[in-house]
Amino acid sequence: MSSSIELRPGAPEPAARHARLQRTATFRGGKLVLWLEAQVFVNGAGILGGRVAVEAARSGARVTVCDKDVGAEVNLGTQSSVQRGVAKARSVAAACNAIAPGSARAICADVRNVGIGTLRSCAVLLDCSDDAGLAWPLTELSNGLDRPLLRLALDGSGRTEVGRVLTSAGGAGRACQLCPCSPADLARKAPSTPCPGSAASEPAPTLAGGALGMAIAGIALLQAQRLVTRNDLEQVLDRELVLDLTNFQLLATRLRRANSCLSRHESWGELVPSGVTTNSVTLAELFDLCAGQLGATDVALEPYGHPLALEVHCECGARRVAAGSVWSAGPACGRCGRRMDWMRGVQWPRINRAQARELGILADTPASLGLPADGALLVARALGRPVLRLLFEPTPTPESASNPTQPEERNVPSDT
């Protein structure tokens, strides 16, 4: 496991409110102090994420809640802490802070547009979204950052009361969730992307009750605490737990690490601080910086998780060439003035200086291309040189400076 979750000097001592908690088997050996120092990342603030985030904060951890959706009437019967018309992440973070002030913050965005700097600061990642399309990107993040990932899911068909908690930690030398998968498996599980301009079909609603949600959230909380404290790790690593409340069974499956895993179990190692923020440097300056670091002139830059789209379109039928990631706001349409959407058919994962010059974006900043402000990652490559991974500094904002728990909001790309 990563040494980043070791107790740091000056870590908080258990308060009176946790006096009983520290005497439980999970926190034996004085390990509660590790949990009090931990930052837990919870993706998805619905039936699972809302419950596990609140209980994590109640038990002393600090929590980052990430969800791009807004609460609706249909959520109120099953999703804890969600409020109608309020961003789910904000509602859940507020519930956490009502229990332990300052313990939680909200990120109102898709997890794929969260800065690596934010994820890197967390001891454990929990995906409560039950989105099969996130299997690949979250596994890559978990392995790359050496952060264990817990994936929570429910049978949302409404036919059974079954859920599971799976531990993925391939970068730490254990099995990851992609170990048993083939390319065909991923192709079957990944959601289809609508054609540009077409109406996106809504995902099927999760038909599951709060009873199952509470049970799975409780198992996930226990597994997260074991990961952080390292007590009973053999019950967590390389494990998938399936809870069948229909037949009152708890099944534990052992996952086997595959040497030929599609994820390659690649750990990124140390990330190099760039010393700049995404809005304080241009692409031209980044090419110079990376060329100097790599000792090479022909350098390709890869904004991690943010490939560049090269064309935009509008509802009025207008189309034109432009460059930016789908996480950035498209330019205004010259014909009708509406915001244009990025075409996803062709995206470049990396560009060199000549390509950036041809696109006219050498003077642009990474922020203007849609890279997140909270520690984006830039990968630089040159022939015959080791890969350079540069981590941007977080961009300070007036709100975050005055209130470090202030929820953040991000652009969410359109489904077209």
Q: pLDDT at position 196, please?
A: 37
Cα gap 153→121, rounded to integer Å: 24
Cα gap 233→227, rounded to integer Å: 6
Query: How is residue 203 written in tokens?
Result: 């995902």
Cα gap 393→387, rounded to integer Å: 19
- Judge contact between 338 and 354, C-beta under 8 A: no
pLDDT tens for each residue of 321-339: 999 999 999 999 999 999 9
Average pLDDT of every residue of the chain = 89
How many helices and strands, by DSSP H and E, does the chain display?
10, 18
Cα gap 121→114, rounded to integer Å: 12
Q: pLDDT at position 402, please?
A: 33
Q: pLDDT at position 405, please?
A: 36
184: exposed, middle or buried (Cβ count in 10 Å: 0-12, 13-18, 19+): exposed
Q: Identify which of 26, 61, 68, 71 has the alpha carbon closest to the alpha carbon of residue 41.
A: 61
pTM: 0.89
Bridge partners for 39 per DSSP = 62
pLDDT tens for each residue of 189-244: 555 444 333 344 566 788 999 999 999 999 999 999 999 999 999 999 999 999 99
Cα gap 78→75, rounded to integer Å: 6
- Judge contact between 332 and 320, C-beta under 8 A: no
pLDDT tens for each residue of 76-135: 999 989 999 999 999 999 999 999 999 999 999 999 999 999 999 999 999 999 898 999
Percentage of residues in the chain with pLDDT exceeding 70?
Answer: 88
Query: How is residue 240 written in tokens?
Result: 């998938």
- Judge contact between 172 and 146, C-beta under 8 A: yes
Cβ contacts of 36 within 8 Å, gap of 6 or more = 11, 12, 13, 14, 18, 60, 61
Domains plus CATH for the chain?
Answer: 3-254 (3.40.50.720), 272-398 (no CATH)
